[in-house]
Chains A and B, each alone.
Chain A
Amino acid sequence: VNLNAFEIISLSAGFDLSGLFEESDD
């Protein structure tokens, strides 16, 4: 198996900070 556990972990949505920069119009 060539999977790296850290690479798998980094797929988590919790790592995606781009939401901070998105405008919400609510």
Chain B
Amino acid sequence: MGCFHSKITKHTPGYEDPTILAAETPFTVSEVEALYELFKKISSSIIDDGLIHKEEFQLALFRNRNRRNLFSDRIFDLFDYKRNEVIEFGEFVRSLGVFHPNAPVSDKVAFAFRLYDLRNTGYIEREELREMVLALLHESDLVLSEDFVEMIVDKTFSDADTKGDGRIDPDEWKEFVSRNPSLIKNMTLPYLKDITLAFPSFVISSEVEDSE
């Protein structure tokens, strides 16, 4: 049994033991502690209640609390497992774990599927795909004709919907990603590989030994 001195720190309401989070995610204990420092910073940026609200998430991502974006909204919602409109520390670490370079590819594929399944039906539907393409065009200055958008959506759908039932199910998605691995490229954040080195200012002195 380990004996260590814990710094007296006020933990946030959703705080969870780093050793438990490290055991459940690709992070080491030190990395979870570094993430806690990051979490505290983000979660106190607007409302200092130790929880990340959607505005704080947007502010951290875009340096602008009012900048909304369909995909960042979706990511926030997926991080918010409990669906209580805030991200707690455990949710933050477990969700970011999916983006770790060492996380299983299957977790990344599943996360991306949930991200694109806008209406949580268990399928990616053609209308959802179209909606996402239009949202991207709206946020960028890219101008594509409606016909062109329809053509891209049709083409993608005919490639992915191998069963031809008008929707992409998780198996079809998995297969489609295996043919197009770049689709989950943004599910990996190299920053997370060694967050303690990348962000030394977040590292607090800890005598908890990393088990790995």
Q: Which of B69, B116, B133 contacts A14 (CB 8 A)?
A: B69
Residues in B neighbouring A7, C-beta threshold 8 A: 180, 182-183
Chain A residue contacts of B199, Cβ below 8 A: 21, 23
With A1-B151, A1-B152, A20-B61 as contacts: A11 and B136 at CB distance below 8 Å: yes
Known: A19-B63, A20-B38. A10 touches B185 (CB 8 A): yes
B63–A14 touching, CB < 8 Å: no
A6 in contact with B183 (CB, 8 Å): yes
Interface residues of A, Cβ cutoff 8 Å to B: 1, 3-21, 23-24
> What are 19 residue pairs bridging A and B, where the CB atoms are less than 8 Å apart in the complex?
A3-B155, A3-B156, A5-B155, A6-B116, A6-B183, A7-B180, A7-B182, A9-B116, A9-B132, A12-B139, A13-B71, A13-B139, A15-B75, A16-B186, A17-B189, A19-B62, A20-B38, A20-B61, A21-B189
